[in-house]
Each structure stands twice: as C-alpha cells, then as structure tokens.
Chains A and B, each alone.
Chain A
Amino acid sequence: MGRFKSKLLTSLLLSSTILIFSFSAQAEDENVSWAQLSNEQRQVLNPLASEWDTLRPWQREKMLSIARDYPKMSADKQALVQKRLSNWSRMTPYERENARKRYQQFQALSADKKSELRKKWIEYQKLPESERSRLRTESPEIYTDADLN
C-alpha cells in the first residue's frame, strides 16, 4: 500500500508540474514584446505595431487571442478583423466589456432579429452626433470598476 501511495503521489506531482509549466508558459506569452512575436502574429496584429509595446499584459493577452483565432476565419472575416482591430485596441475596458456582453446577446438572436438590428445601426448612425451623445449619457454603466479589475 505504501508503494502504491508513493506512486500515486509521484503521478500527482508530475501532473502538477506539467500544469504549472503550461500556466507559466501562458504567463510569458502575455509579456511578449513586438519583436518577440512570430511573423504570423505580427502580420495579424500589424495595425497595433506602433502601440504594442505600450499595451498592458492583459491587453496583449486579448490581442494575442485574436491572432490565435484569426487563421480559423474566412478571408472576408479576416479582412474585417484587420479593419476593426485598431479601433478595438483604442476602446476603453468599459467599452470592450460592454461590447462583449452585447455581442453575446446578439449571437443569441434569430437571423431576422440580427438583420433588423443591422438596419437599425445604419439608421442610428444617421442621427446627429448631439442626439447620440445624449443617448449615451442617458445609459447606465453596465460594468463597474470592480468588475473590470
């Protein structure tokens, strides 16, 4: 029984070591500089080249996750990502977190509702900036500082 326990302990230690290594490797990814990125990552994240080294580790992690998922997308979607990436990186954490929440709700909608919402977005953009600004100030914050830290 003692030998069995020691073998079990060894197995647990081995598994834990592998897990720790995988987590530490992930932590290193978050601190990677622009020069340390692979060619593929630099190609995807090119709109962020000038500001990459000023990004905070968690921001880099999010952007690297975009580069990771990028090859799984069609060419049309890849073009959209490239076009929107720069604006996305300039958004505040509040805006990005709100966007993620709304995107998840949008994904759950039917095709008809999605189409309807696309039309409404075009319509909304035609509103005067003053009107849009008023609407923004009327909206309550969805996330607090505590949610984003």
Chain B
Amino acid sequence: MNSHEKTRNKDLNSNMSEVQRTDTYLNKDSNEMANERSLTEAQIAHEICDALEERSRHLTATQVKRLSQARERAVQKLSSQSPTSVQSNGGALHWLGHQMSDYFGHHRAMSSAMIAGVMMLTFFAAQQFDFNNNLENSDAFLLASELPPEAFADKGFDTWVDSKASY
C-alpha cells in the first residue's frame, strides 16, 4: 500500500467516523427533541433564554455592534410604522382595538376595577331610574292625589263615568 492509498483509506475512515458521529448526533438530537416535546411551554422558553444568554457571552465586539445596529433599524422601522398606520393597517377601529387590548393587557388590575365599577354604576343607575320612574306612581302620591283613593278604587264610579261620557 503506497502513501496515496494510505491517505485515501485514512480519509475514508475519517469520513466513516464523521458519518457515525453525525448519526449518533442525529439520534441524540431526535431523543432530545422527543424529550423536549414533553416539556412545558414555560420550560422551553426558559431553556431558550438560557441558551441565548450563554451564546451571547461568546460574541465578539463586532457581532455585538452589528446586532445592536440591526435592532436599532428594526425599532426605527416599527416606530415609523405604528403611529401613522391608522389608515394603512386596516382602519382606525383596527388600530383602536389593538391599543385597547394592549392597554387592558397591561393594566389588568385597573381594568378589573373598571369592570366592577361599571357594574356597580349600572346597578345603582338602574335603581335610581326605577326609583324616579316610580316616584309619581307610588302609593304616597296616589293618597295625595286630587281625587281620593276611594274614587280610583270604586268600580261603580268608573262604570258610571263611562256611561256618562268617555274620559
């Protein structure tokens, strides 16, 4: 076996080992994926955060600068879109809906209090409306009417009035 053949065999062995390593890696990877599936969403997110944090420690100054610039460009693009996109992004109602959902999403305690407050106000307003509506129809005002309650209660009077002339 000449040196060329030796080198070729060495390369083949090396390739074989690489294939075996890849295979092992893929098997390992698929096992990990299967395990990950059983993890909860929160755990996965936690692991992603940890991984990103771990990787970010090894970034070079140039990479950090480029990432920072890319972030700035993305933020600028977003900020130039959102306030003026009332009409271009599907209308004012769509925009308002987003704003409100964001507000209520971020102020949960306040929105709960607001809902409770609106419920209480509605109840008391309904009671007040009922009270005002019934005030002139209450028994007290009937007793203080221009006619005595006997006039209203006397069915004979009603019949007699009807026979004489209609109201």
Residues of A within 8 A of B (CB): 3-4, 7-8, 10-12, 14-15, 18-19, 62-63, 65-66, 68-70, 72-73, 77-78, 80-81, 84-85, 87-88, 91, 95-96, 98-107, 109, 113-114, 117-118, 120-121, 124, 127, 132-136, 138-139, 142
Contacts and interface: CB of A to CB of B under 8 A. Distances in A.
B151 A139 contact: no
A91 B138 CA distance: 16
Contacts, number: 141
Given A7-B108, A103-B152, A77 B147 contact: no
A84 B149 CA distance: 8
A106 B147 contact: yes
B112 A11 contact: yes
B90 interface: no
The 10 lowest CB-CB distance pairs between A and B, nearest first, are A135-B156, A11-B116, A139-B155, A77-B144, A69-B140, A99-B152, A7-B112, A136-B156, A102-B152, A95-B153
Contacts of B142: 99-100, 103
Given A95-B153, A100-B139, A124-B157, A11 B113 contact: yes
Interface string B144-162: 1111111111111111110
17 contacts: A4-B112, A11-B116, A11-B119, A18-B120, A69-B138, A77-B141, A81-B140, A81-B144, A87-B148, A99-B152, A120-B157, A120-B164, A133-B156, A135-B155, A135-B160, A138-B159, A142-B155
Contacts of A133: 156
B155 A136 contact: yes
B3 to A, nearest CB: 70
Contact of A102 (B108, B143, B144, B153): B153
Interface of B: 108-109, 111-113, 115-116, 119-120, 123, 135-161, 164, 167
A113 B123 CA distance: 38
A121 B147 contact: yes
Given A18-B120, A66-B143, A132-B156, A113 B167 contact: yes
